[in-house]
């Protein structure tokens, strides 16, 4: 009886968003008279960081500091339509809508500034610190607060913008499946190293090494949150979770977290991540969506690592100790494969 | 149904309310006295989102009969801040990005607070043990462990390894 | 735990000097989270709040003979017992808002139940406790029906009909087929010439999203004769639109507030709680809360459904994949919810991130007597990615190739034609493979290390197959494409008459049945040219990264009697209309 070490590899790509009804999202942006902005969405923040990433996107586009922007989500009286937060669509679809809305609001702000400075709006740039100045002449400047105030109280302009992002529906051919499924893809490759106990069938993750390509990492800390948490969930899906442990039987279904088991804080393994950034041509500042794809490579990588460790192919998820032990038994013992 | 008066301190303030027979502390805190920081996750004692401190010890408020806190001291996240200043644990959670959806966070913070009060310099293993009854579905726990170690000053965010 | 940003890769495609983008800015919601102030839906207090609990089916499949609520209605604290007849428009499918699919699911079932846990009555009471007590007093007279739980057993002739809207237990695509097809080249011809043909079967079991906050909603009468609804939804306007439809109320009489949600992972899209809570509020004039407890969340809340995939690969000795065939079954449970669309997403994703000249898929959305399935993190993709990548490992082993080098060899690159007939762009799979290998100290050959996603693609690899073998397997009658919205004009019958429709059994990959008689005979192409083979043992499989497609030449004439190729608007996938 022994523990056997094995390594398994998997790589994936992941389609961002949906080809469903145009997959639209809208955004509205407006400023207070002192140049502080609000972004109104009906998109949902369920932990992925919707409010935060759209806030940075709005600030970047408006040309103001991030502190000058707040995002308010999901009041149907004020937030314009959004399909919702799923399908890794949020950053890409909503981010693009926020860019469009912010560009419109920015244009009005620059027009107001131009009128005050008596220059052409096309000659104005923002410094991202709350100032608007003539390109190449930083001394000819006005603050975003002054420009917004002038728009509101002198010029009668609304510093506001509307945005929508929509990818027209792509027809699906019933006979060949021809379609334009989504707009861009994220990528990942992952190597799981496991120990498999051939007496208990238990799998312990020793280490995970991964490379995730996410488009541009719009906020590296939010990316880190998603990738670390997503890989944890992938591990859980590979080895632990199901509501129907003997599918298709509906017996033995768990009803609480003592029965629906997942790895706890004591079960996590070191995970070494590399983030690659190949910007999506149509993504907001090149961003894609890391939220779903981060879990996907973990499942097959662990299955392949279990095979490498003890020579058992478990093709039915989750890879429970019972399935591993039955496989070992059928093989007449653990059959470790070539060390990698 | 007969109701019973219960008096206790909540984050240092005197509270008096009436509770029903069998009513749990989570419900009384949230609906009875309006402290919405402990969360309902399962009402089975299996997720830890409702963790509060009773006389300094962590308890699952969903499994605690409200009448049993008579005369005792209950602490929740609502009492963590000192005036406008965040508690060191709250600051460490922020620095380490140790929350995503934020729903398990109040329970995690209270479990961590209980740990640091009885063991100001915990090891990683002791931190893991202290939060092992608290389920987080978003983070994969690593940032939470790092935050608690950092708040204790006994470890760093770079701490690695198995629990 | 460590994380590094490999900025040197694709550096010339980015401007890394932006003001806010790329900065590790603190989350806007973090202070709220660490202080417990973030307002989740249940963190809104209402005086006089009522609680709703469902009476649920104990059977997988049963007809409802009668429901007796008299004992329950007279229990202390009970305000109302709600039945299906109280729902203004008690039939819906979530994606009907996008003109995709037929209404097939009641909010509260009236005639029959098709899964264990299906709601048939709802108690509204002063406390959750009182509601639970009253639920136990509702008496339902059941006529238990035969049930079916396995996807492949559900689609054989004479299987019990799970979902009366789709009598063959398959969602109907384009009003035409029992499954979504992908046809690219000719896999059978390629298998015949491949050095190895390797089959596999993969099964995903249902997975619970398990957010720490369970699904729920609180609704209350608002001023201006409107209703406010605080909700945990992941899709505010899906939920608002669904509630407006089921309750037959103008959408602007509903005021939805959400946006701060305790995890979702796909499990909070189904929009069942919002219409239920608003209905309760409409019927009682009081604030009403409807939430899943944890046991309901796990067993009644829709999971990511089970998926079964059969994968067959044709591969040459030098490692080139020349054909890949899929037959997939999504277990949708009793109703459609979102599995129908997940299959569109899956089919657009096949054959994974590889350039393979012949690809085939038949993917079925199957109704079984289990909890309806819905979205979950990676929906439509995670299951088939498991199948593909577990299979890749087996194929690499069989041909004696390093599993990572095998992926790099077959990886898609910029400019390659994909099976859904669009060119690949912005690819980065090879770089991910290389970096992951480097981090894990997994040694790769110099040739593998030299490959990249930007070069080596396109050219011959950008060509569509000369010939694609198509078929009409799984053709159904009695459904027609058309505007779904027209079908559902007010006054249209909620349950159209049943078509005379007998489903074809789904072909298993090992022994596909012949095409049904209504289908034209598949065109037999001229014998394909042999797949080019290296004359000697391959020294450098990467030297010519073009996997030469074993495409037969274009047949001389169009297939006789073949249905004219018609591109159907997506809504007609959707928009099946019964004749």
pLDDT at B56 over 90: yes
The answer to whether the Cβ–Cβ distance between B93 and C34 falls below 8 Å is yes
pLDDT at C523 over 70: no
Q: Where in chain A is the domain with CATH 3.30.365.10?
A: 3-15+185-330, 25-165
ipTM comes to 0.97
Name the minimum distance, in Å, from the CA of A313 to any CA of chain B: 27
Task: Please say which residue of C258, C280, C299 terminates a domain.
Answer: C299
Question: A271 in contact with B at a CB cutoff of 8 Å?
Answer: yes
Q: Which architecture, in CATH terms, is A25-165?
A: 2-Layer Sandwich (3.30)
From C294, C286, C252, select the one nearest C52 (Cα to Cα): C286
The answer to whether the Cβ–Cβ distance between A257 and B44 falls below 8 Å is yes
Question: B36 in contact with A at a CB cutoff of 8 Å?
Answer: no
Confidence (pLDDT) at A182: 82
Nearest to A265 among B44, B101, B128 (CB): B128
Confidence (pLDDT) at A248: 96
d(CA C22, CA A60): 10
pLDDT at C261 over 70: yes
CATH topology for A3-15+185-330 is: Aldehyde Oxidoreductase; domain 4 (3.30.365)
Band the pLDDT of C538: cuts 50, 70, 90: very low
Bridge partners of C444, per DSSP, are: none
**What residues 216-235 of chain A have any CB closer than 8 A to a CB of chain B?**
221-222, 224-225, 228-233
- Flag the least confident range among C503-507, C520-524, C574-578: C574-578
Considering chain C, what is the average pLDDT of its residues?
A: 88
Q: Which of C181, C198, C274, C385 best probes binding to A when mutated, by most A CB atoms within 10 angstroms? A: C385
Whether residues C130 and C174 share a domain: the answer is no
Q: Which of C162, C259, C307, C325 best probes binding to A when mutated, by most A CB atoms within 10 angstroms? A: C259
Q: Of B2 and C424, which is predicted with more confidence?
A: C424
- Count contacts between A and B (CB, < 8 Å): 72
Percent of chain A with pLDDT over 70: 100
Confidence (pLDDT) at A145: 98
In a domain? residue C560 = no
| Nearest residue in C to B96, CA atom | C26
Mean pLDDT along residues C97-101: 89
Task: Please say which residue of C269, C299, C329 terminates a domain.
Answer: C299
Chain C residues in contact with B105 by the CB 8 A cut-off are 33-34, 36
Q: Which of C126, C212, C289 best probes binding to B when mutated, by most B CB atoms within 10 angstroms? A: C212
Nearest to C208 among A66, A81, A260 (CB): A260
In a domain? residue C48 = yes
Name the minimum distance, in Å, from the CA of C327 to any CA of chain A: 14
Q: What is the pLDDT of residues B91-130, one digit of tens each?
A: 999 999 999 999 999 999 999 999 999 999 999 999 999 9
**CATH number, residue C138:** 3.90.1170.50
Whether residues C140 and C255 share a domain: the answer is yes
Q: What is the pLDDT of residues A139-165, one digit of tens each?
A: 999 999 999 999 999 999 999 999 999
From C308, C313, C533, select the one nearest C407 (Cα to Cα): C313
Percent of chain C with pLDDT over 90: 81
Place of tokens 């509903």: C254
Confidence (pLDDT) at C477: 86
Question: B65 in contact with C at a CB cutoff of 8 Å?
Answer: no
Question: C152 in contact with A at a CB cutoff of 8 Å?
Answer: no
**CATH number, residue C382:** 3.30.365.10
* Residue-range definition of the domain harbouring residue C97: 43-145+209-299
Name the minimum distance, in Å, from the CA of B58 to any CA of chain A: 18
Backbone angles phi, psi at A134, to 5 degrees: -70, 135
Mean pLDDT along residues C29-51: 97
Kindly provide the b/e burial profile for residues C498-509, where b requires at least 16 CB atoms within 10 angstroms of the residue's own CB. eeeeebbebbeb
Whether residues C247 and C388 share a domain: the answer is no
Mean pLDDT along residues B51-70: 98
Confidence (pLDDT) at C504: 46
**What residues 165-184 of chain C have any CB closer than 8 A to a CB of chain A?**
173-174, 176-177, 180-184
Chain A residues in contact with C25 by the CB 8 A cut-off are 52, 55-56, 66, 219, 221
Q: Which of A220, A234, A235, A265 best probes binding to B when mutated, by most B CB atoms within 10 angstroms? A: A265
Q: What is the pLDDT of residues C55-79, one digit of tens each?
A: 999 999 999 999 999 999 999 999 9
| Nearest residue in B to A270, CA atom | B161
Q: Which of B51, B137, B142 best probes binding to A when mutated, by most A CB atoms within 10 angstroms? A: B142
Number of domains in chain C: 2
Reported pTM: 0.92
Backbone angles phi, psi at C26, to 5 degrees: -60, 145
Q: What is the pLDDT of residues C148-167, one digit of tens each?
A: 999 999 999 999 999 999 99
d(CA C305, CA C303): 6
Name the minimum distance, in Å, from the CA of A97 to any CA of chain B: 23
Whether residues C309 and C291 share a domain: the answer is no
- On the question of a cis peptide bond just before residue C351, with omega within 30 degrees of 0, the verdict is yes
The answer to whether the Cβ–Cβ distance between C212 and B77 falls below 8 Å is no
pLDDT at C579 over 80: no
Mean pLDDT along residues C518-533: 54
Confidence (pLDDT) at A4: 98
Give A3's Cβ-side CA count (13 Å radius): 9
pLDDT at B11 over 70: yes
Chain B residues in contact with A232 by the CB 8 A cut-off are 139-141
d(CA A229, CA A262): 13
pLDDT at C146 over 60: yes
**B touches which chains (3+ CB pairs under 8 A)?**
A, C
Name the minimum distance, in Å, from the CA of C75 to any CA of chain B: 13
The radius of gyration of chain B's CA atoms, rounded to the nearest angstrom, is: 16
The answer to whether the Cβ–Cβ distance between A209 and C439 falls below 8 Å is yes
Question: C421 in contact with A at a CB cutoff of 8 Å?
Answer: yes
Nearest to A228 among B47, B128, B142 (CB): B142
What DSSP string describes A58-95? Answer: HHHHHTS-GGGEEEEE-BTTTSPPB--S-TT-IIIIIH
Whether residues C165 and C194 share a domain: the answer is yes
Neighbours of B95 (CB within 10 A): 16
Considering chain A, what is the average pLDDT of its residues?
A: 97
Q: What is the pLDDT of residues C409-461, one digit of tens each?
A: 999 999 999 999 999 999 999 999 999 999 999 999 999 999 999 999 999 99
CATH number of the domain at B3-79, please? 3.10.20.30
Confidence (pLDDT) at C555: 45
Nearest to B142 among A47, A233, A268 (CB): A268
Whether residues C361 and C392 share a domain: the answer is yes
Give the start-end residues of each E strand in C295-454.
307-315, 321-333, 359-367
Confidence (pLDDT) at C479: 82
Percent of chain C with pLDDT over 70: 83
Give the start-end residues of each E strand in C421-565.
479-481
**What residues 132-151 of chain B have any CB closer than 8 A to a CB of chain A?**
132, 135, 137-145
Confidence (pLDDT) at B2: 82
Here the tokens at position C394 are 């087996």
Confidence (pLDDT) at C530: 66
The answer to whether the Cβ–Cβ distance between C21 and A51 falls below 8 Å is no
Neighbours of C67 (CB within 10 A): 18
Here the tokens at position B146 are 């790092």
Question: B103 in contact with C at a CB cutoff of 8 Å?
Answer: yes
Mean pLDDT along residues C488-497: 38
Confidence (pLDDT) at C484: 31
Whether residues C343 and C223 share a domain: the answer is no
Pairing state between β C576-578 and C479-481: antiparallel
Chain C residues in contact with B155 by the CB 8 A cut-off are none
Task: Please say which residue of C299, C322, C354 terminates a domain.
Answer: C299
pLDDT at C573 over 50: no
Whether residues C220 and C268 share a domain: the answer is yes
In a domain? residue C419 = no
Confidence (pLDDT) at C575: 40
The answer to whether the Cβ–Cβ distance between A56 and C341 falls below 8 Å is no
Range B88-152 has CATH code 1.10.150.120: yes
* Spatial contact of A241 and C45, defined as CB atoms under 8 Å apart: no
Neighbours of C448 (CB within 10 A): 22
Per the rule left: phi > 0, alpha: psi between -120 and 50, beta: everything else, C212 is alpha
Q: What is the pLDDT of residues A159-218, one digit of tens each?
A: 999 999 999 999 899 999 999 988 899 999 999 999 999 999 999 999 999 999 999 999
Nearest to B140 among A221, A228, A256 (CB): A228
- Give the SS3 label for residue C52: strand
From A295, A241, A289, select the one nearest A271 (Cα to Cα): A295
pLDDT at C500 over 90: no
Chain A residues in contact with C566 by the CB 8 A cut-off are 174
Name the minimum distance, in Å, from the CA of C74 to any CA of chain A: 30
Chain C residues in contact with A258 by the CB 8 A cut-off are none
pLDDT at B12 over 70: yes
Confidence (pLDDT) at A34: 97
Whether residues C378 and C277 share a domain: the answer is no
Mean pLDDT along residues C349-353: 98
Q: What is the pLDDT of residues A248-297, one digit of tens each?
A: 999 999 999 999 999 999 999 999 999 999 999 999 999 999 999 999 99
What are the sequence ranges of the domains in chain B? 3-79, 88-152
In a domain? residue C188 = yes
Whether residues C79 and C172 share a domain: the answer is no
Give C461's Cβ-side CA count (13 Å radius): 24
């Amino acid at each position: 009886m022994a523990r056997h070490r094995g390594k398994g590899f998997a790589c994936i790509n992941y389609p961002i968003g949906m080809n469903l009804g145009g997959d639209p999202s809208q955004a509205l942006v407006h400023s207070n008279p002192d140049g502080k902005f609000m972004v109104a969405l009906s998109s949902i923040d369920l932990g992925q960081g919707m409010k935060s990433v759209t806030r940075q996107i709005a600030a970047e586009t408006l040309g103001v500091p991030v502190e000058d922007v707040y995002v308010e989500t999901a009041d149907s009286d004020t937030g314009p339509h959004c399909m919702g937060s799923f399908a890794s669509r949020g950053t890409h679809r909503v981010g693009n809508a926020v860019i469009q809305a912010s560009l419109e609001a920015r244009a009005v702000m620059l027009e107001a500034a131009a009128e005050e400075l008596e220059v052409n709006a096309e000659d104005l740039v923002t410094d991202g610190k709350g100032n608007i100045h003539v390109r190449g002449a930083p001394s000819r400047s006005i603050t975003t607060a002054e420009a917004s105030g002038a728009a509101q109280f002198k010029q009668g302009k609304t510093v506001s913008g509307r945005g929508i992002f929509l990818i027209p529906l792509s027809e699906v051919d019933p006979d060949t499946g021809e379609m334009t499924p989504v707009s861009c893809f994220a990528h990942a490759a992952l190597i799981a190293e496991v120990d498999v106990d051939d007496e208990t069938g238990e799998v312990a993750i020793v280490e995970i090494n991964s490379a995730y390509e996410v488009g541009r990492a719009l906020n590296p800390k939010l990316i880190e949150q998603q990738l670390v948490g997503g890989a944890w969930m992938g591990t859980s899906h590979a080895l632990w979770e199901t509501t129907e442990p003997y599918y298709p039987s509906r017996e033995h279904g768990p009803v609480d977290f003592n029965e629906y088991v997942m790895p706890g804080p004591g079960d996590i393994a070191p995970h070494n991540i590399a983030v690659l950034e190949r910007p999506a041509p149509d993504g907001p500042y090149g961003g894609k969506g890391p939220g779903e794809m981060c879990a996907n490579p973990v499942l097959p990588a662990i299955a392949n690592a279990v095979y490498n460790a003890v020579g058992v192919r478990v093709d039915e998820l989750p890879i429970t100790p019972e399935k591993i032990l039955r496989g070992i038994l059928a093989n007449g013992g653990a059959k470790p494969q070539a060390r990698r | 149904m007969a109701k019973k008066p219960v008096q206790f301190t909540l984050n240092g303030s005197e509270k008096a309310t009436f509770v029903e027979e069998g009513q749990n502390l989570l419900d009384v805190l949230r609906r009875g006295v309006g402290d919405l920081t402990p969360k309902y996750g399962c009402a089975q004692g299996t997720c830890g989102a409702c963790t509060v401190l009773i006389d300094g010890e962590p308890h699952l408020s969903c499994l605690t009969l409200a009448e049993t806190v008579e005369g005792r001291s209950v602490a929740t996240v609502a009492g963590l801040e000192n005036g406008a200043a965040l508690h060191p644990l709250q600051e460490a959670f922020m620095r380490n990005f140790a929350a995503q959806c934020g729903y398990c966070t109040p329970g995690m913070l209270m479990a961590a607070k209980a740990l640091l009060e009885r063991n100001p310099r915990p090891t990683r293993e002791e931190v893991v043990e202290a939060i092992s009854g608290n389920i987080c579905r978003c983070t994969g726990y690593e940032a939470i462990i790092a935050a608690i170690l950092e708040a204790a000053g006994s470890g760093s965010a770079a701490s690695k390894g198995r629990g | 735990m460590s994380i590094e940003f490999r900025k040197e890769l694709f550096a010339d495609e980015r401007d890394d000097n932006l003001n806010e983008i790329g900065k590790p800015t603190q989350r806007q919601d973090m202070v709220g989270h660490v202080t417990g102030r973030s307002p989740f839906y249940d963190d809104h207090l209402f005086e006089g709040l009522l609680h709703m609990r469902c009476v649920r089916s104990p059977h997988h499949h049963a007809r409802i003979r009668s429901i007796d609520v008299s004992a329950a209605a007279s229990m202390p604290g009970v305000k109302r017992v709600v039945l299906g007849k109280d729902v203004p428009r008690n039939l819906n499918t979530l994606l009907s808002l996008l003109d995709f699919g037929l209404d097939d699911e009641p909010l509260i079932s009236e005639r029959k139940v098709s899964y264990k846990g299906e709601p048939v009555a709802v108690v509204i009471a002063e406390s959750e406790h009182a509601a639970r007590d009253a639920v136990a007093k509702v008496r339902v007279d059941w006529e238990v029906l035969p049930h079916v739980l396995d996807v492949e057993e559900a689609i054989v002739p004479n299987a019990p009909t799970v979902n009366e809207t789709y009598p063959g237990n398959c969602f109907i695509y384009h009003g035409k087929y029992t499954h979504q097809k992908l046809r690219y080249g000719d896999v059978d011809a390629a298998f015949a010439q491949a050095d190895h043909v390797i089959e596999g079967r993969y099964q995903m079991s249902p997975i619970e999203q398990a957010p720490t906050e369970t699904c729920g909603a609180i609704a209350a009468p608002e001023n201006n004769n409107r209703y406010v609804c605080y909700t945990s939804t992941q899709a505010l306007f899906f939920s608002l639109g669904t509630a407006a439809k089921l309750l037959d109320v103008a959408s602007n009489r509903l005021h939805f507030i959400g946006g701060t949600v305790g995890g979702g992972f796909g499990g909070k899209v189904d929009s069942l709680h919002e219409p239920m809570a608003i209905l309760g509020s409409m019927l009682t004039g009081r604030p009403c809360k409807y939430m899943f407890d944890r046991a309901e969340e796990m067993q009644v809340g829709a999971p990511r459904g089970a998926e079964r995939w059969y994968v067959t690969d044709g591969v040459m000795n030098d490692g080139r994949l020349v054909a890949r065939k899929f037959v997939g079954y999504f277990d949708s449970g009793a109703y459609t919810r979102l599995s129908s669309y997940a299959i569109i997403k899956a089919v657009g994703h096949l054959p994974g991130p590889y350039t393979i000249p012949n690809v085939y898929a038949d993917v079925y959305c199957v109704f079984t007597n289990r909890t309806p399935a819905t979205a979950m993190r990676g929906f439509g993709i995670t299951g088939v990615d498991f199948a593909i990548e577990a299979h890749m490992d087996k194929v690499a082993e069989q041909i004696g190739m390093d599993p990572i080098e095998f992926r790099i060899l077959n990886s898609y690159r910029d400019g390659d034609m994909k099976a859904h007939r669009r060119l690949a762009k912005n690819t980065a799979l090879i770089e991910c493979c290389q970096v992951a290998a480097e981090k894990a100290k997994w040694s790769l050959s110099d040739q593998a290390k030299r490959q990249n996603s930007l070069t080596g693609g396109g050219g011959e690899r950008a060509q569509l197959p000369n010939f694609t073998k198509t078929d009409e397997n799984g053709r159904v009658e009695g459904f027609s494409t058309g505007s779904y919205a027209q079908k559902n004009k007010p006054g249209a019958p909620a349950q159209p008459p049943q078509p005379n429709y007998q489903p074809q059994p789904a072909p298993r990959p090992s022994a596909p049945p012949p095409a049904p008689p209504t289908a034209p005979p598949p065109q037999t192409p001229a014998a394909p040219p042999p797949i080019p083979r290296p004359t000697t043992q391959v020294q450098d499989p990467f030297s010519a990264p073009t996997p030469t497609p074993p495409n037969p030449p274009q047949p001389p004439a169009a297939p006789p009697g073949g249905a004219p190729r018609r591109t159907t608007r997506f809504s007609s996938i959707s928009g099946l209309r019964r004749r």
